Amino acid sequence: MASIRFSNITKRWGSFVGVDNLSLDIADREFIVLLGPSGCGKTTSMRMVAGLDDPTLGDIFIGDRRVNDLEPKDRDIAMVFQSYGLYAHLSVYENIRFPLKVRGIPNAEHDAKVRAAAAMVELTEFLERKPKALSGGQRQRVALARAIVRQPNCFLMDEPLSNLDAKLRISMRAEIKHLHHRLNVTTIYVTHDQVEAMTLADRVAVMEKGRIRQLGTPTDIYNNPANLFVAGFIGSPPMNLIEGDIIDGQFRAEGVSVPLPFAGSRTDVVLGIRAEDLRLTDPMYGHFRQKVYSVELLGDATLVSQRIGARLITARADKGFRIEMGATSAFEAVPSAYYLFDRVSGDRIA
Ligand code: ATP
């Protein structure tokens, strides 16, 4: 059993609160991603599970065991870092073997275990090389092999892909997903990259300022963001967010008037619409009619942006769609695609 529980965990340094009363239950075999901007407390949360930082308040459990007072080496955890953390003077083989030696696993078992782990990440032909003779992606594979070689209770991965170029990141992402499927080991994965989070996670914990702002499956978080922070953080391009007021069932902002599917008035709201939910339409009818501010060809789609006040709003059109910069464009959305937030609290209201 390797469930992991954060129970009311706070981490302070002096008066600065890095992690703020965090509670989170991670199921056995679950792949959970801690996602958030730099400084939101992701790494610190993970380091407390590893025993590299002590919580100021609260308890951490691995399985049924409270581990606050347990040495890192006794927690049966393997970590993978952005910086790989390989020993330069050791061969790939010896790097992968290292945790077996440290843990006193009988020598007779080493060779089979090292070769099995290396095979799993396709490193068999590189076993005699030193890390400096490997590419970044290969080095990260060595780090992964070293993590899996002793079959720990859980993996902790801190931005393991962020040193790799964009193409390698995508292939290593698939590799990590495949490994999890094969090994089924509870994993906490830290990243600020929402695409990584969405593609890898069983559940994502979106963090801001030491707190979890939303916890849910990737689909949940994408389709039902609980607040402005999550809405603006998840999605590429991010959700269009337009500040305004509701007057008699119409959303009003500078140069914009959008009928809403309900009556009533309310000040200080934010209307949210995802780019793929905005359609380009006849300039006679669209709710958002402005000159085209930019056109971006992505290959699989075309992004068309208008400027409303100080903000850009972006529609995702088909890949073949073409429009001139400066031409008048019109966007419309189906009302069911609208999200409404309270501008002050940031909470979702509809
Ligand atoms: P990043 O993506 O940049 O790694 P993060 O979300 O992992 O960010 P943490 O490393 O957990 O963030 O840090 C959370 C906050 O705690 C940050 O504001 C950081 O400056 C602060 N912090 C971390 N370690 C210490 C420390 N030893 N002393 C004081 N403050 C710290």
Phi, psi of 169 (to 5 degrees): -60, -40
Pairwise CA distance, residues 228 & 339, whole Å: 10
CA of 313 to the centre of ligand 1 (A): 33
Q: Which DSSP state fits 134?
A: S
Nearest atom (ligand 1) to Cα of 19: 14
Residue 27: pLDDT over 80: yes
pLDDT (tens digit per residue) in 110-128:
999 999 999 988 899 999 9
- Testing ligand 1's pocket by substitution, the residue of 40, 47, 157 carrying the most ligand atoms inside 8 A of its CB is 40
Instruction: List the residue whose alpha carbon is closest to atom 26 of ligand 1.
Output: 13
Same domain, 55 and 182: yes
226 lies in a domain? yes
Same domain, 270 and 177: no
What kind and span of H or E run contains 341? Answer: strand 339-342
What's the pLDDT at 227?
98
347 lies in a domain? no
Pairwise CA distance, residues 89 & 303, whole Å: 49
* Identity of the residue numbered 40: C
Range of the domain at 285: 240-342
**ipTM of the prediction:** 0.95
348 lies in a domain? no
Residue 35: pLDDT over 90: yes
349 lies in a domain? no
Number of domains in the chain: 2
Instruction: List the residue whose alpha carbon is closest to atom 14 of ligand 1.
Output: 41
The mean pLDDT of 92-97, rounded to a whole number, is 96
The mean pLDDT of 149-170, rounded to a whole number, is 89
What's the pLDDT at 121?
87
108 lies in a domain? yes
pLDDT (tens digit per residue) in 220-230:
999 999 999 99
Instruction: List the residue whose alpha carbon is closest to atom 7 of ligand 1.
Output: 43
For 22, half-sphere exposure in the C-beta direction (CA atoms, 13 angstrom radius) is 37
Average pLDDT score over the chain: 93
Q: pLDDT band at 247, cuts 50/70/90?
A: very high
Nearest atom (ligand 1) to Cα of 53: 27
350 lies in a domain? no
> How much of the chain exceeds pLDDT 70, in percent?
100
> How much of the chain exceeds pLDDT 90, in percent?
77
Same domain, 25 and 171: yes
> Range with the lowest mean pLDDT among 62-66, 172-176, 243-247, 272-276?
172-176
Same domain, 204 and 265: no
Same domain, 252 and 214: no
Instruction: List the residue whose alpha carbon is closest to atom 25 of ligand 1.
Output: 13
317: CATH: 2.40.50.140
User: Is 0.90 topped by the overall pTM?
Assistant: yes
Tokens of 60: 């951490």
Same domain, 186 and 266: no
What's the pLDDT at 1?
65
Query: Is 319 in contact with 301 (CB distance < 8 Å)?
Result: yes
Pairwise CA distance, residues 297 & 314, whole Å: 13
Q: Supply the Cα-derived Rg of the chain in whole angstroms.
A: 24
Same domain, 167 and 207: yes
The mean pLDDT of 316-320, rounded to a whole number, is 92
What's the pLDDT at 331?
92
Residue 334: pLDDT over 90: no
Pairwise CA distance, residues 236 & 296, whole Å: 13
In angstroms, what CA-CA distances link 240 with 15, 78, 107, 275, 305? 36, 40, 58, 7, 10
- Domain boundary residue, one of 176, 211, 233: 233
Query: Is 308 in contact with 255 (CB distance < 8 Å)?
Result: yes
Residue 218: pLDDT over 80: yes
CA of 6 to the centre of ligand 1 (A): 18
Residue 4: pLDDT over 90: yes
- Domain boundary residue, one of 192, 215, 233: 233
183 lies in a domain? yes
What's the pLDDT at 211?
98
- Domain boundary residue, one of 182, 201, 233: 233
Nearest atom (ligand 1) to Cα of 45: 11
Same domain, 33 and 135: yes
Same domain, 197 and 124: yes
Same domain, 55 and 135: yes
What's the pLDDT at 164?
83
Same domain, 143 and 11: yes
Tokens of 71: 């040495």
110: CATH: 3.40.50.300
pLDDT (tens digit per residue) in 38-83:
999 999 999 999 999 999 999 999 999 999 999 998 999 999 988 8
What's the pLDDT at 151?
87
Q: Is 206 in the pocket of ligand 1 (CB under 6 A)?
A: no
Buried b (16+ CB within 10 A) or exposed e, 205-230: bbbbebbbbbbbebeebbeebbbbbb
What kind and span of H or E run contains 114? Answer: helix 110-120
E-strand stretches of 104-229: 154-158, 186-191, 203-208, 211-216
Same domain, 64 and 162: yes
128 lies in a domain? yes
